[in-house]
Amino acid sequence: MKQKTTTGMLFISAVLLGAFIWFVERDSETTQQKKQQRITLFNIRPETIDRLELERGGVLIECSKASGEWRLSKPVDAPVNRAIVEQMIAGMSAVERGELILSETLDERGLTPSDYGFDDPRARITYDNNLGTFTWLIGRDTPLGDTLYVMSEENGDVISAPKALLQMIPEDPAWIRDRTLFNNTASSVRRIDLRRQAGFLQMARTDDNNWVMQQPHAGPADNLSVNTLLETLLSAQIGIFVADEQTDLTIYGLEEAEFELTLFTENEETQTLLIGKPRPDRPEERYAKWIDSDSVFTVPSKWAAEFELKADSLRRRTLLDIPRQQISRLTISAGENQTELVQTNGQWHVVRPARWAAEPAAVDQLLDAIANSVILEFIDNPNTNQIAVIDTASWSVTFGSDDSQHTLQISEPLDDGLMMVRRDQSPSFELIAGGTFEDAFRNPLFYRTRSVLEIAPEQIKAVTLTAADREFRIEKTDGRFTAADRKQNPDPDVLQELTAELAGLRAERYVAFNPESLGSYGLDNPQARLSIALQGTNILGRVLLLGGTAEDGRYAMLQGQPVVFVLPERSAEILTQELTQPLEKEPEEITQP
């Protein structure tokens, strides 16, 4: 078979399309009446044709349509380019007839079909439609040379037609063959198997539409990288068709192919492509064939080079392979300590070791560490020491939802500063940057809301401050604060600062939960005690104890809550200001005359 390149296919497509446009539109300037009077040569509707047979230059080409799809049946059973076949039929159906010479006229003139070149026709056109089978022969050119003779085998009439008709009949079936390698869409592929000298590579798509690597390593794959590879696989086109008969495959390097690519689709169909050695005369192309077909063709060598990729380039490089917004449960285990957080109605709560509202920024910090961690290196065959490090990992993080959860075992920083991580008891470990997971993440108090008090000013009934053996008390009467000591008045500036601070008092950090002793914080004998009596709420009041000085503030705790925290120094100053000030003038004693 003649070896035509894709240039030939583009040429015939251009010829067919140009001829079609020429036939249909060249008389666009004529009147509608003339258009109606125009008579075509074949007088057919393209949609009615279900078989087309073309013969030219000793080459027989047959195409048949079944279930709306065209397929090549001769000289080989193969897919065809549907667009080219339909353009070709549309162009033929638009060919206008010229001079008509009836068979009776031929007899009268003593002429035979051989006088018009039909004893050895240059081409033959046969088609089947809903009316039957019809065959037309193409003979020699007319004397003027701008048209040629066409004869119907059914009635022997000779008709002149444009020479472009001959150009519509390909001399090589390769011109109309489909050059698409894979007809699958990327979304329909469920598995990719690639056998190669660099090792067997196998990828599979999970039910939740994520890719996982099964060979040479087991573990999550990077969805973007695999989908990019898949789009590349599906984009290739056949170069030329080399042979269609059974032949010696060693000539093409296909007996032991360098690559064997198999795609599995969602309907359990498979397509396996063998790729052999490069063409000696054109190394930019490689020989290839389908495993269940004798046809040999070429594919671009540059495309085949994509199969040399390293398996690690397809592995997921992040610890998180689910959308972050799907995480609704977190469990941090460190030794005997366990912290559990649950998200409900968009709000995070600590449910273990105690029930607390969670600090959103703290939870986000942990989620950021999980989501933004980059795997720097994979350890697929860990040694004894590495296994021991993971088995004795100091802490772990479990994340996910009620339906699906994943666990990360996290080591202490190694000698090189990196951290070793194992995901879901995988036999492979990963190395990530040191410091990605902070020590603070192990402390349950890290996730407790930093809001210590949120008391609206209108809820305050009375405030008592005891500090340095002095006591200050103010009470609200008829909506106004007064001092318990009649010789004192509430300090309005202090009262304004105090109520504003109590409306949103936040801790700088938390120090201890259920401490064995309060002495080290100066809270066994507090330096100051602030008592707030409340109204309009089911809570009678709050008592804030302030202890010794910390590096970044003052130790403090709420009476009845075994949690020690640090208040910013400015907050401590505001909360321990003297609440009252002496009256400007003491009332004079009035005596009876």
Task: Encode pLDDT of 282-300 as tens digits.
Answer: 999 999 999 988 899 999 9
Q: Which residue has the higher pLDDT, 500 or 28?
A: 500
> Which residue's structure tokens are 């007996």?
255
Give the pLDDT score at 13.
53
Confidence of residue 208 (pLDDT cuts 50, 70, 90): confident
Give the pLDDT score at 479.
85
Q: Which residue has the higher pLDDT, 397 or 487?
A: 397
Give the pLDDT score at 30.
43
**Mean pLDDT on 193-214:** 93
Q: Is 187 left (phi over 0), alpha (psi -120 to 50) or beta?
A: alpha
Give the pLDDT score at 433.
93
Q: Where are the beta strands (DSSP E) in 78-206?
A: 78-79, 100-101, 123-129, 132-141, 147-152, 158-162, 189-196, 201-205
Give the pLDDT score at 375.
94
pLDDT tens by residue, 44-69? 889 999 999 999 989 999 999 998 89
pLDDT tens by residue, 325-367? 999 999 999 988 899 999 999 999 999 999 999 999 999 999 9
What are 27's strand-pairing partners? none
Question: Looking only at Cα atoms, what is the longest distance across the chain?
Answer: 166
Confidence of residue 27 (pLDDT cuts 50, 70, 90): very low
**Mean pLDDT on 433-448:** 92
Confidence of residue 36 (pLDDT cuts 50, 70, 90): very low
**Mean pLDDT on 302-315:** 93
Give the pLDDT score at 589.
56
Structure tokens at 524: 């066994």
d(CA 221, CA 201): 12
Between the CA of residue 109 and those of 112, 147, 223, 562, what are the distances in Å?
Answer: 9, 21, 77, 122
Give me the chain's average pLDDT, please: 89
Give the pLDDT score at 371.
92
Residue 60: helix, strand or coil by DSSP? Answer: strand
**Mean pLDDT on 94-98:** 89
Domain-by-domain residue ranges, the chain?
A: 6-175, 186-314, 324-447, 451-582
Class of 324-447 in CATH: mainly beta
Query: Is the pLDDT score of 23 beyond 50?
Result: no
pTM here is 0.69
Q: Which residue has the higher pLDDT, 1 or 386?
A: 386
Q: Which residue has the higher pLDDT, 203 or 33?
A: 203
Residue 123: helix, strand or coil by DSSP? Answer: strand
Helix 6-25 and helix 82-93, axial crossing angle in degrees, nearest 10: 30
In angstroms, the first-to-last Cα distance of the chain is 141
CATH topology match: 324-447 vs 451-582? yes
Element (H, E) at 453: strand 451-453
pLDDT tens by residue, 511-558? 999 999 999 999 999 999 999 999 987 788 999 999 999 999 999 999
Query: Is the pLDDT score of 165 beyond 50?
Result: yes
CA 98 to chain CA centroid, Å, is 59
Are the beta carbons of 340 and 349 closer than 8 angstroms? no
Which CATH code is given to the segment(s) 451-582?
2.60.40
